Each structure stands twice: as structure tokens, then as C-alpha cells.
A = this chain, B = another copy of it.
Amino acid sequence: MTKRKSAAISLPEVRNRLREAGLRCTPARVAAINCLFASPTPLSSGEIVEALEPAGFDKSTVYRTLSEFTECKIVFRLDLGDSMRHYELSDVGTHAHFKCRQCGEIQCLDDFSFEISPRKHKAVRLGSVNEVLLRGLCEACE
């Protein structure tokens, strides 16, 4: 359930999500959730700042909002490199991402499964993996 069906989420529903997460319902937070909800792909902090600044929200507020959301697991923060953090609502479920080196396009890979297997028996043990990122060239850029 990654792609959004509706372009908007109702205020009471947003309020609910916030309260459940133990956060007060403020205009900045509502705006941030709406913004993320409307996007089919993860948004960078910069994109979210740009989206909310015209409405009068300060960038520091936006950054703080995103950190809080990340802490209470309302959003998932992706470290895609290129010194840009990206966020997506965590209710879309865990999935891998692909990022094109050339054009920067990000794809959510809901449709893919990953098999990670040690080649040798005595391979290093990995802890737990909760983010998979692939990088390369998208079809268009290839």
C-alpha cells in the first residue's frame, strides 16, 4: 500500500495520528503530514521546507517536526546519500529504494524481494537490516 489513493487526508485523521504518537496537533505538523501524504515518493527535507515556507512555517520548525516524526516512528527517514535526507510516512510499510545517480529519481521498490545470502560459511554475521538502498542508473538515464 505504497501509492496514495486519495490526495488528501482529513484533519481529524491527522489529529488522530499525532495524538496517538503522543504529539500535539499543531498547524506545522498537520501541514507536514499532508505534504508527505500527498507524495507518492519520499520527500527530501528541502522539498518539505520549500512546500511549507510559503505558508509561513520556518525551516527550523520543519526540521524539528521531521525529527520528532522520525523519533515517534510516524515517518521513516531514508539516508539516500547526497547529503539529503528523505522522509516517507511509515504506514506505507517497509520496502527498499532505488536512487538514480544521474537524475536523482527515487523509486520505492514495493514490488521487489531481496535475498541476502553469505557466499562463504564463515561470513561475517550481519546484525538486523531494516533499510535497503540500491543505487545506479534508472532506465531513462542508462
Contact = CB atoms under 8 A, between A and B. Distances in A.
B112 A127 contact: no
Interface size class of A (residues with CB under 8 A): 35 or more
B131 A134 contact: yes
Contacts of A128: 136-137, 142
Interface stretch (A4-12, A31-39, A113-121): A113-121
B127 A141 contact: yes
A127 B140 CA distance: 8
Interface stretch (A21-29, A47-55, A61-69, A74-82): A74-82
Given A109-B126, A114-B116, A133-B133, 7 more contacts: A79-B135, A83-B83, A111-B124, A127-B142, A131-B133, A131-B136, A133-B134
21 contacts: A79-B135, A81-B81, A98-B129, A109-B126, A111-B118, A112-B116, A112-B119, A112-B123, A112-B126, A114-B115, A126-B134, A126-B139, A127-B137, A127-B139, A127-B141, A127-B142, A128-B137, A129-B136, A130-B136, A131-B134, A132-B133
